[in-house]
Amino acid sequence: MLNNQNRGRLISFEGVDGAGKSSHMARVKAHLESLGLTCVQTREPGGTPVGEAIRALVLHHDMDINTELLLMYAARRQHVAELIEPALSRGAWVITDRFEDSSFAYQSSAGGAVWEQCVALSKWALQGFEPDLTFLFDLPVEVSKARVQARGADSDKFEAKPDAYFEDVRAGFLKRAQLNPRRIRVINAQEPEERVGERVLAELDHFMTTHQVKAKA
């Protein structure tokens, strides 16, 4: 077992679609690797065979909101047990495209699942496990929508939701940020991509300094 200093760290990337999460994840991965750290990239829902099977279900089937919430947490529990925790234990850093802030934003704030029940479910399923650092890419809904449309990527059931739904998703994320100011860094994703990227790396460096993480090379 590694001591705390050599254990890896979990960084999650959150926000509505169109905020440029993927390119910033790639930038963070390259930066960590340039410091000699091993970096594992993953996503939610997904990251394991069970999680990917759940992803195929929840992204393309309408269902009761609490069923959806439970499936998100089932996938997450498997993700932590099978991939994230073992990686952190061997000293790797894990970067994940979404983690549980998405469940509070999508299933609770926008979908109507009771917030306090999400809190209880989280405690039961994850027992206090949470990312060490979270980047929340914040964007007005109309900007997000325009970017997603321009991208023309494959859509899932969430992307077809009305603007009001995404206003609630955004509000849910911002509420989580307010409740977890130490962990969540809100990044204004409206700025040019280069500027946003610089801000992300500056926050990462700050995190590494304050947590006394040492580069290996």
> Residue with the closest Cβ to ligand TYD?
106
Residues contributing to the site for ligand TYD (CB under 6 A):
17, 43-45, 59, 72, 97-98, 102-103, 106-107, 156, 158
Distances (CA, A) of 36 to 109, 140, 202: 39, 36, 18
State the minimum distance, in angstroms, from the CB of residue 20 to ligand TYD: 11
Judged by beta carbon, residue 156 or residue 191, the one nearer ligand TYD is 156
Whether 121 and 77 have beta carbons less than 8 Å apart is answered as no
Judged by beta carbon, residue 82 or residue 97, the one nearer ligand TYD is 97
Whether 131 and 99 have beta carbons less than 8 Å apart is answered as yes
CA distance 132 to 207: 9
Judged by beta carbon, residue 121 or residue 186, the one nearer ligand TYD is 121
Whether 159 and 111 have beta carbons less than 8 Å apart is answered as no
State the minimum distance, in angstroms, from the CB of residue 72 to ligand TYD: 4
Judged by beta carbon, residue 25 or residue 208, the one nearer ligand TYD is 25
- Output the six-digit token pair for 32: 């960590």
CA distance 158 to 104: 14
State the minimum distance, in angstroms, from the CB of residue 209 to ligand TYD: 29
Strand 10-15 to strand 93-97: parallel, antiparallel, or no bridges (unpaired)?
parallel
State the minimum distance, in angstroms, from the CB of residue 51 to ligand TYD: 10
State the minimum distance, in angstroms, from the CB of residue 63 to ligand TYD: 12
Would you give the end-to-end CA distance of the chain in angstroms? 22
Judged by beta carbon, residue 9 or residue 55, the one nearer ligand TYD is 55
Distances (CA, A) of 74 to 109, 171, 194: 19, 25, 36
Judged by beta carbon, residue 106 or residue 135, the one nearer ligand TYD is 106
